[in-house]
Amino acid sequence: MNTRPTWKVRSRIAQAAILCVMLVAPALRLAAQTPPATQSGEYLFNDSHFHLTNYIQEGINIHDFLKIMGDKAGRVALFGIPLQQQWSYRVDGERKPTYYLNSDTPLYYYSFTDAWIATAYKSLNRAEQARFDPMITGFNPSDMYAADHVRRVLEAFPGVFSGIGEFSIHKEFVSAKVAGEVASLEDPALDRLIDFAAQVGLVVLIHNDIDTPFAKEGSPPAYFEQVKALFKRHPQATIIWAHIGIGRIIRPVRAQGALIEELLKDPAFNHVSFDISWSEVAKYAVSTPEATKTVAGIINRYPDRFLFGTDEVAPPDQETYLRVYNQYAPLWKQLDKVASEKVRKGNYERIFDAARQKVRAWEQAHVR
């Protein structure tokens, strides 16, 4: 008796095998591109806020930065700066500006930054990639197409990105310099962007000053209520408020600790965390023993809601990279063991591990 399958059966088996490959291959490809998360171990910290490039899209080679991280930083949220400072010969001649305060010429959104960051990340081996969580920044948050830009980046570079940001809405002198429409916390374009980020599982790292420059002493902070309203409109998003609303010249408003604690106490804002990145933030936090005690008290009461970050921009060496961490030395001493571990390492791992898993799942379902 001939037990060999007929040509029709063989044909169906072949078709099923091809279909299986078509369905499984994209998932395998994405999984291969996504290294497993590495835990912090004996590292001092994970860095929730790091710029590989600056306002003229220049920076440090990612392989050199790995050497600077060394055994001090475990994982790093990696991004450039979404804005490019224009060099106008008519305005500045041969004196090329390197920072937004160096010139009267405008800033403009530089979308290629995302491809640059993705290319840098993909130049690493899998073990090295595991130490980074790249972020998408090259979009205009006042443009209804911003969400479409994020989608295209995910489609072009599957397996790479974990979030969006740092991007800015109201930022001291920066917002007024950006060419085109001024960004707003009440813009439907911003809502559409954050809605899409929530759908995908991307972390949202947003910079918005709590007040305007040179605000009148004692007046209510200009943007606090708008920030609250934005956060409340997006309960499904994982949001990190960069610098707790402080800017280079935006000092902590009166009773800022009480305002932040208002958000921390309200379950409607459980999806919002706060990064204490930047030397300007550290400056205020450790300015006096009383200030440090106040900050430490809030963090000890809500240890799951804060993340450490450096906000360094292409540092030339490890000493420069570690300056903000060292600046916070008085604060580290006043945090209890659990809070210190969570702020320096654990909260980063919890938030970004979840983002990696959600974004990779979205890519497997939507990227062909």
pLDDT of the residue at 34: 63
Residue ranges covered by each domain of the chain:
48-366
Cα–Cα distance between 78 and 128 in angstroms, integer? Answer: 13
- List alpha helices for the chain, DSSP H: 7-33, 62-69, 89-92, 112-122, 126-129, 146-156, 174-177, 188-200, 224-233, 256-265, 279-285, 289-301, 318-321, 323-327, 329-334, 337-341, 347-366
Q: At what angle do helices 112-122 and 146-156 cross, to 10 degrees?
A: 20
Cβ atoms within 10 Å of 177's Cβ, excluding its own? 19
One DSSP character per residue, 17-83 reads HHHHHHHHHHHHHHHHHSPPPPP-TT-SEEEEEEESB-TTS-B--HHHHHHHHTTTEEEEEEE--SE
If one looks up domain 48-366 in CATH, what number appears? Answer: 3.20.20.140
Q: pLDDT at position 32, please?
A: 47
Q: What is the pLDDT along the chain (368 residues), one digit of tens a residue?
A: 444 545 454 555 445 544 444 444 554 455 445 677 666 678 999 999 999 999 889 999 999 999 999 999 999 999 999 999 999 899 989 998 887 778 889 899 999 999 999 999 999 999 999 999 999 999 999 999 999 999 999 999 999 999 999 999 998 878 888 988 899 999 999 999 999 999 999 999 999 999 887 777 778 888 999 999 999 999 999 999 999 988 776 666 567 888 999 999 999 999 999 999 999 999 999 999 999 999 999 999 999 999 999 999 999 999 999 999 999 999 999 999 999 999 999 999 999 999 999 999 999 999 98
Whole-number pLDDT of residue 205? 98
What distance lies between CA 314 and its chain's CA centroid?
16
What tens digit of pLDDT does each residue of 174-220 get? 888 898 889 999 999 999 999 999 999 999 999 999 988 777 777 88
Asked, as a colleague might, if the bond just before 186 is cis with ω within 30 of 0, I would say no
The pLDDT of residue 263 is 96
List, as one string, the DSSP characters of 264-279. Answer: HH-GGGTTEEEE--SH
- Give the pLDDT score at 61: 98
* Residue recorded with tokens 């430490």: 296
The token duo for 134 is 């790249």
Tell me the C-alpha distance between 320 and 64, whole Å: 14
pLDDT of residue 111: 97
pLDDT at 23: 45
Residue 254: predicted pLDDT = 64
AA identity, residue 264: L
pLDDT computed for residue 17 by the predictor: 46
pLDDT of residue 33: 57
